[in-house]
Amino acid sequence: MATVHLRIGDLVWGKLGRYPPWPGKVVSPPKDLKKPRGKKCHFVKFFGTEDHAWIKVEQLKPYHAHKEEMIKINKGKRFQQAVDAVEDFLKKAKGKEQVSFSVTASLWPPQKHRNKEGQPASSMEPISKRLKIVEEDSGSTSIQAADSTAINGSITPTDKRIGFLGLGLMGSGVVSNLLKMGHVVTVWNRTAEKCDLFIQEGARLGRTPAEVTSMCDITFSCVSDPKAARDLVLGPSGVLQGIRPGKCYVEMSTVDPETITELSQVITSRGRRFLEAPVAGSQQLSNDGMLVIVAAGDRSVYEDCSSCFQAMGKTSFFLGEAGNAARMMLILNMVQGSFMATIAEGLTLAQATGQSQQTFLDILCQGQMASTFVDQKCQNILQGNFKPDYYLKHIQKDLRLAISMGDMANHPTPMAAAANEVYKRAKALDQSDNDISAVYRAYIH
């Protein structure tokens, strides 16, 4: 295939991750934004959005030469509006060397939240979605992002008072999105200083978990492990001391099914309502409001949490009785953790056998295993950037719990067991508070 030579100002079709090709313009990158090492790419500003990104040359096509082809394969309304924006830009640019282009809406994922007047609330705010409930053949129910956004790209927040306990990597993004979408939120965190930013954004402060649950109709919790989850409910000034009959408690922590069963029984036995709703994702997806929520327990609580789940995630699933969500989430994280360990093993084996790690990544990202996850984690490794997006210590905890769950079901989990040993080695090398991609260091030390 002939090489396409592009320069600043050229109109292109750019493909980013799982999204379809989208019209954009090659522009000069900001001075403080470095080009990815070892990659042949151009910096592209996309039409119909405030988004921009480095795009590999093989993912770019000239706009005019491929216009008819792209229009045939994408019939969406937002796509057509983006194409119209390009055509409008061309009309305005006729006879001029430089014309700035602006658009009236964020039309390409990830979309931005909008305020009541229909305007973007901030260029850094995450996607907002209207959700629909879909009954699946499996008997589970999922709430999924609809093709079109809600009126003005917003949602209607519940009038129920929301409490949130735990402002870690995941909880912080969740609370931020709840506030941006208009929910009334009261927060508590073991390290009180973490609450300050959210108080500035409009949250209320609870001095103890008991106080939060006494003030709120629905209280969410998102903490690190089973012990922390139990302590939050059963400990001094804990949830159980403040939650009143009829109030709701939603456990979002990734824990074992036994912990969920215990918490569910102690909450419901006192006339309260319980839902588990662990989330699949990362800090970035939490910030972007793109988590996947896996829920189980009281169906009425799940429905009451609808606007909250819309604010924090792109999809949610209801899996029936309490404990099922914990089982599903442990399986999902077991697969992710094992996969990450295998990727790290491949990178180190490439290096050990004299192969280019960057070439290995480039080939991997062109095949069936291509994904944003693979690309981002491998880039982290190659750049030596292990800033946590999901803590290594937490994925090791999830692997351990998944293996234990397999033991109880008398089901073999040899791949997870092997991966768990690698993560344990990484923890011994002081990588616990780094990103899961730091498992790479277990292979090189």
Backbone dihedral angles phi then psi of residue 60, each to the nearest 5 degrees: -120, 140
- Residues 168-222: tens digit of each pLDDT: 999 999 999 999 999 999 999 999 999 999 999 999 999 999 999 999 999 999 9
Residue holding tokens 């949602």?
155
* DSSP string covering 118-145: SSBS-TT------EEEEE-TTS-EEEEE
Which positions of the chain have pLDDT values less than 50?
A: 1-2, 97-139, 143-153
Integer Cα distance of 184 and 118 in angstroms: 21
The angle that helices 77-93 and 63-73 make with each other, rounded to 10 degrees, is 160
Q: Tokens representing 122?
A: 């901030």
209 CB-near residues (< 8 Å, 6+ apart): 165, 188, 221, 232, 233, 237, 238, 239, 241, 242
- pLDDT value, residue 76: 67
- pLDDT value, residue 428: 98
* DSSP string covering 261-288: HHHHHHHHTTT-EEEE--EES-HHHHHT
Residue 383 class from Cβ within 10 Å (0-12 exposed, 13-18 middle, 19+ buried)?
Answer: exposed
pTM of the model: 0.69
Integer Cα distance of 286 and 279 in angstroms: 9
- Residues 304-353: tens digit of each pLDDT: 999 999 999 999 999 999 999 999 999 999 999 999 999 999 999 999 99
- pLDDT value, residue 95: 52
Integer Cα distance of 18 and 51 in angstroms: 15
- pLDDT value, residue 29: 84
